[in-house]
């Protein structure tokens, strides 16, 4: 990330209220801003059905192409919490990084995530959100994870759609 140095348009990062990314993105677009909200398609399991839904690749983050002087107007959009800062200045994402994210989404479109035993994953939903665990067993819909915390091992069954793979 770079530090913003002048009033030319740059890709900045905003942090939104939880699960409000799509609504905030729509409001920003309606206000005339150029945004980028990377979405990924996942299958969600409910008790009676499965459904393919689009969720943000980065929870609570939206990229916005704007000038520093427009920050206050953006902060007044309902659902925007704050800008992401780096070294005391709004963090700037280079154009090449935005293009790399778009290319990644294009290349992985429709691909299915494969889990392996002994792989480290992070839980993204529920009571154990944010905790990491090692896959002990793989079922059709669930994973059995071993979670180490404070010297205690916990075994938890979690739905596959509620974990994400950690890159090494």
pLDDT at 5 over 60: no
2-108: CATH class: alpha beta
CB 92 within 8 A of CB 11: yes
- Residues 73-103 pLDDT 10s: 999 999 999 999 989 989 999 999 999 888 8
Calculate what percentage of the chain has a pLDDT beyond 70. Answer: 88
From CA 163, how far away is CA 129, in angstroms rounded? 9
Q: Which CATH number fits domain 120-165: 3.90.79.10, 1.10.10.10, 2.30.30.30, 3.40.718.10?
A: 2.30.30.30
Within a 10 A sphere around the Cβ of 148, how many other Cβ atoms?
Answer: 12
pLDDT winner (highest mean) among 2-6, 10-14, 153-157: 10-14
Confidence of residue 149 (pLDDT cuts 50, 70, 90): low
Question: What does the domain layout of the chain look like in residue ranges?
Answer: 2-108, 120-165
pLDDT digits (tens, 9 = 90+) for 6-56: 579 999 999 999 999 999 999 999 999 999 999 887 777 777 877 778 888
CA distances from 123 to 11, 50, 66, 104, 131 (A): 29, 20, 33, 22, 6
């Amino acid at each position: 990330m770079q530090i913003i140095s002048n009033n030319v348009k740059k890709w900045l990062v905003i942090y939104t209220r939880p699960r409000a990314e799509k609504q905030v993105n729509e409001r920003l677009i309606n206000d005339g801003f150029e945004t980028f909200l990377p979405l990924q398609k996942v299958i969600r399991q409910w008790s009676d059905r499965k459904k393919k839904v689009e969720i943000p690749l980065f929870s609570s983050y939206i990229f916005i192409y704007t000038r520093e002087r427009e920050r206050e107007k953006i902060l007044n959009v309902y659902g925007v919490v704050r800008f992401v800062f780096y070294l005391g200045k709004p963090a700037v994402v280079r154009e090449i990084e935005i293009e790399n994210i778009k290319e990644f989404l294009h290349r992985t479109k429709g691909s299915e995530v494969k889990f392996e035993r002994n792989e480290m994953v992070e839980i993204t939903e529920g009571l154990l959100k944010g905790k990491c665990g090692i896959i002990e067993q793989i079922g059709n819909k669930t994973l059995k994870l071993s979670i180490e915390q404070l010297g205690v091992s916990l075994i938890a069954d979690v739905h596959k759609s509620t974990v994400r793979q950690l890159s090494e």
